[in-house]
Structure 1
């Protein structure tokens, strides 16, 4: 642990710049392909069923793999796992490009590709969440996570436009090759320039089996009350977020008009808000207590969900959507930092694996509940109802002594 502390204090700025640069390059290439496949399926099939299959293929593998990948992130070198995930996705993308060039352009190949990319994401996400405390001093985790959130928001803002432009000028195969190139650059950046020592558990001979490690992760969660309540809060929150996340485009079409520019505008407003929110949390750092920051953002998101259900004017609707976007990084960042600060290093991968499983499954589960209801009652009523429930959930968060204690600065808490 001493060598890691020295490494963090001495080279952390260089290391985090290299790490975030590699992740940005990789994410940009992946986002280009993700949107290109979505546009391609939409244009070629005009089928909602095909799009649904693509979305399902893109989240189910992540859901099932996340808890297992969390164990890998604790047992093995996290940098190598990230490179392995990028390499797996790049290899699959290269094979897909070659098959398309040879004339094998069946849609089922795109669904397989979506599943492989989801597997890579499932491996990479807990490893990235767990590796940051190895690179960044604890007092800078909020700022770095906020900057990372802003970078991701910028990519999600730019990628759809760049992908659509490339698809209109060149073939989808060329976009596949761009993703391969960006993945290779990202892997080489980590391999050649970024020197991170393995965390303690990965550098030692494993004393327990894989499944024992998995069970130890479950026992660790059960023994720490704040983790149980933290995950329960997130599960309920993400279910309640489903209407605001998935049904607002349909609401806009029904209530304000089916003009394409309106649908584009709400996506742009949300993305711009996320960029601003990432900058806000990176510079501000949030309240001293992480849970207070989380609750503050949760309150804003609940109020915005309620607002989206009552405003009659589209321009006011856009403003609320932008505020919603601002609150998102302010919500996500303290949640990640809280885990990075409070969870023992040897368990970080498993904990982030569980968080990844919850975040990828609860909103789709919410859609199974709210989606059919949206064809019976107005979406506005669903937004009003879920917005009110989110506000009530925020009150419970603020009144939960265990969670509030866990959010206090190190040295002041008495977390069980």
Structure 2
């Protein structure tokens, strides 16, 4: 294919990818909002709500690495289209079941778990495919658009879901989700997943699955930058859960912020993600992505500590409201500045034949810490003053990040940093 035609096709795929992501993610968020309210309405139990979260998270943790392996070995396009199609069938199946027997909490748990499986196939495979869909100069733009789609869905999902909840039944939420995924499937069917692929023939050898997974872990260890990311992701996803668990607890229980204002504060986080994604989509990729991520992890850890200020110093209601809007906005923006450069680095520096496994391992490591962190910090916030929990988490994160991404590690990954500093020093001495 001529280069000019490839560039045009890549442009088409960039926007098709973005539109399909916005549509499908928005549909998923609308459904998640409706399901949450439906379960609480049926049971009035926070435990039932938490169980649905477990059904959503656990399959991702268990299957992400295996899904990454399949993305490396088989047709990415086929996996994505099949996963989208299975999601549509799942929603249709629950609709039929509800019509025949009535939708129950158990049926929601089962569909949530199955949907988590199909969405894991879709998200891991799609993420590992970005470098095959667009040229290298637009990988960061594609990664930023992916984050932008998530933020738009985070803002629009609850808004649309809230408007729908008073007028339609749970079946209406299922239909919206089903239609969204069907449209996304049709868009993705037009995409060429081999446009910039370096592997012309999909690997279909008979290597055993566990050996292939082991190869993926061993490959990650040979890439110092990737190994560092995996270890840092393991710890930061554990301790940043303190904000996920404690943020709402502090707002509602400690500071007595009204529920409608809590919603605005949470929306500020989604807006922060959107603004940061749009900003990065216009910028060139970072020369030293791991160094950039380190800086913003430290900023995030600092923001976690700053969240305790209203707990030490008495603010007015409005000051608390504005303070946490700024905090949530900054927290989410920092997360984008961490995740996007790392994602671009994996897309460009990891061989295509291992890319799916690396993204799968990264997702498994990140997701595994969420239920553990939720349980640990839930217990801590019940027994310890929240300011000490957040402040302790902030300090631990700063120590862990500073050690695991210390100067010697950064220089080992980017030896050119040392040479450039030496060159500048020589110039200064010469002058």
Contact 2:22 2:150 in 1 (8 A): yes
Deviation at residue 8 of structure 1 after TM alignment: 5.0
- The whole-number CA distance in structure 1 between the counterparts of 2:62 and 2:35 is 23
- The whole-number CA distance in structure 2 between the counterparts of 1:161 and 1:367 is 26
Asked if 1:365 is matched to 2:355, the reply is no
- The whole-number CA distance in structure 2 between the counterparts of 1:93 and 1:140 is 34
- The whole-number CA distance in structure 1 between the counterparts of 2:31 and 2:78 is 23
Contact 1:289 1:404 in 2 (8 A): no
SS in 2 for 1:112: helix
Structure 1 counterpart of 2:397, from 386, 390, 396: 390
Alignment map for 1:265-304 (pairs within 5 Å): 265-285=264-284, 287-304=286-303
Q: Could you tell me which runs of 5 or more consecutive residues in structure 1 were left unpaired when the two chains were aligned.
A: none
- The whole-number CA distance in structure 1 between the counterparts of 2:94 and 2:126 is 26
Q: Which residue of 2 aligns with 1:260?
A: 259
- The Cα offsets for residues 339-384 of structure 1, whole Å up to 9 and x where unpaired, read as 1111111000000000110111112212232221111111121111
Structure 1 counterpart of 2:327, from 314, 320, 327: 320
- The whole-number CA distance in structure 1 between the counterparts of 2:343 and 2:128 is 10
Contact 1:294 1:334 in 2 (8 A): yes
Note closer, same or farther for the CA distance 1:233–1:404 as it changes in structure 2 (3 Å cut).
farther
Contact 1:149 1:329 in 2 (8 A): yes
- The whole-number CA distance in structure 2 between the counterparts of 1:6 and 1:310 is 55
Q: Which residue of 1 aligns with 2:13?
A: 15
- The Cα offsets for residues 185-207 of structure 1, whole Å up to 9 and x where unpaired, read as 1111121x222328527535425
Alignment map for 1:333-348 (pairs within 5 Å): 333-348=340-355
- The Cα offsets for residues 4-27 of structure 1, whole Å up to 9 and x where unpaired, read as 988754521111111222222222
Backbone CA RMSD of aligned residues: 2.4
- The Cα offsets for residues 75-116 of structure 1, whole Å up to 9 and x where unpaired, read as 111122111111111111111112112242211011111101
- The whole-number CA distance in structure 2 between the counterparts of 1:304 and 1:408 is 31
Q: Indicate the larger mover: 347-356 or 247-256.
A: 247-256
Q: Which residue of 2 aligns with 1:195?
A: 192
- The whole-number CA distance in structure 1 between the counterparts of 2:54 and 2:262 is 22
- The whole-number CA distance in structure 2 between the counterparts of 1:7 and 1:82 is 24
- The Cα offsets for residues 266-320 of structure 1, whole Å up to 9 and x where unpaired, read as 2111111111111222223464210122112212211110111123441212211
- The whole-number CA distance in structure 2 between the counterparts of 1:101 and 1:403 is 58
- The Cα offsets for residues 317-346 of structure 1, whole Å up to 9 and x where unpaired, read as 221121112111111101111111111110
Note closer, same or farther for the CA distance 1:189–1:286 as it changes in structure 2 (3 Å cut).
closer
Compute the TM-score of the two structures, normalised by the length of structure 1. Answer: 0.92
- The whole-number CA distance in structure 2 between the counterparts of 1:328 and 1:407 is 23
Asked if 1:30 is matched to 2:28, the reply is yes
- The whole-number CA distance in structure 2 between the counterparts of 1:373 and 1:111 is 28
Deviation at residue 400 of structure 1 after TM alignment: 4.6
- The whole-number CA distance in structure 2 between the counterparts of 1:215 and 1:4 is 39
Structure 1 counterpart of 2:130, from 119, 129, 132: 132
Structure 1 counterpart of 2:356, from 344, 349, 372: 349
Deviation at residue 41 of structure 1 after TM alignment: 0.9
Q: Which residue of 2 aligns with 1:332?
A: 339
Contact 2:194 2:200 in 1 (8 A): no
- The whole-number CA distance in structure 2 between the counterparts of 1:72 and 1:249 is 38
- The whole-number CA distance in structure 2 between the counterparts of 1:159 and 1:49 is 23
Aligned residues: 409
- The whole-number CA distance in structure 1 between the counterparts of 2:183 and 2:62 is 29
Q: Which residue of 1 aligns with 2:118?
A: 120
- The whole-number CA distance in structure 2 between the counterparts of 1:285 and 1:302 is 26
